[in-house]
Amino acid sequence: MTRKKMERSLVLLKPDAVDRGLVGEIIRRFERVGLKIAGLKMVWPEKEHASKHYTEDLAKRRGQHVRDLMIEMLMSGPIVAVCVEGVEAVEIVRKMVGATEPKTAAPGTIRGDYSHVSFKHADSKKMGVYNLVHASGSAEEAESEIAVWFAADELHGNKPSYTKHTIAY
C-alpha cells in the first residue's frame, strides 16, 4: 500500500480577494475538501516583505517588469496568509485555485468562479494580474514561502481525523 504524503502549502489571499470580501468563502473551500489550517494571519506587506515572496527567480522566469508589478499588486492592500496542510496539499490547492490567468481558469476553480481578468488586460493597464490567490507551486516552494510569511511558532499541526488510521503522518 502506498502511503500518501502530508504536506503544507501557502495560500495568499491577495488584496482583491480581501477587498471583495471573499476571504471566508475561499478558506471555506479549502476546509471543505479536508485541508486543515496550520496558520492564518492578515498582513499589509511592505516592499521588503513582498520582495521576499516574489523573488529574483520570478524576474529570471518572467522578467523584472512582471516581478515589479506583482510586488506592487501585493502591496496594494492587506492580504491574508494561510498555511494549509493535508495529503498532497500543494497539488490539491493548485487544482482548486485554477489557472494563473483568471479568464482561462476552469469553472469550479476559485479563479474560474470569482475572477475574469486576462493577461492582455493587465498588460494594457500596466498592472499585475489580480487573480485573488497565490498558491505554492511545489512542496519545496511551499516550504520556503511559508517561512517568508510565518514564524515557526505561528504554525500549528492539526492532524485531520481521516489520517488517524489510513495514512502515515
Annotated active-site positions, please? 134
Sign of CA dihedral 100, 105, 108, 114: positive
Beta bridge partner(s), residue 72: none
* DSSP one-letter string for 79-117: EEEEEEEEETHHHHHHHHH--SSGGGSPTTSHHHHH---
> How many C-beta atoms surround the C-beta of residue 149 within 10 A?
21
